[in-house]
Amino acid sequence: MVYLVLLAVIITISAIRTTKGRKYSPLSVLSQPLIYLVLGGILVFSNQATLLMAFLGTITGFVIGIIFGRGVLIFRNDGELYYKRSIFVYLIWLSLYLLRALINILSINQTSIEVVGILIMFSSGLLIGESLNVIKKARKYMSENL
């Protein structure tokens, strides 16, 4: 039950941040994807076959994040720079997050841990690709709106 409440809180907070926007700083933009990368790497590091799948998942996620992450929006609110994530990237991330949660609830064995690791690696690539778009658009916005 606690797990489901925590899951609901995380989803609610991420939905609010996606729709209302978040304060921009390069560190805050890159921190979540880098945490995902480390956690996913820990889960898949032990198996070379899984490691290859995770690497391919990360690259695939990165490409999708670059392509669909162009939908980010940069804006000012009370003089502070903010960004809104791409809705499409958010929906992919949310779907993967819920899938990982479902796998964790239904099955805890080595295969499920490896699948979750691969999904986390895909998510990290997705978020890194989107983050690069956020940083690029923020730099452009700042240079044009001095």
**Residue range 83-123, pLDDT digits in tens:** 999 999 999 989 988 888 888 788 777 777 788 888 888 99
Type and span of the H or E element at 88: helix 87-106
Total-model pTM: 0.87
* Total tally of structural domains belonging to the chain: 1
Q: Read off φ and ψ for residue 107, nearest 5 degrees.
A: -155, 125
For the chain, give the percent of residues with pLDDT over 90.
45
Dist. CA 117–CA 26, nearest whole Å: 25
The per-residue pLDDT of the chain, averaged, comes to 88
Given a cut of 80, whether residue 146 has pLDDT beyond it is no
Given a cut of 80, whether residue 52 has pLDDT beyond it is yes
Q: Which domain holds residue 106?
A: 2-144
Dist. CA 121–CA 43, nearest whole Å: 9
Given a cut of 90, whether residue 3 has pLDDT beyond it is no
Q: Give the mean model confidence (pLDDT) for residues 14-26.
A: 90
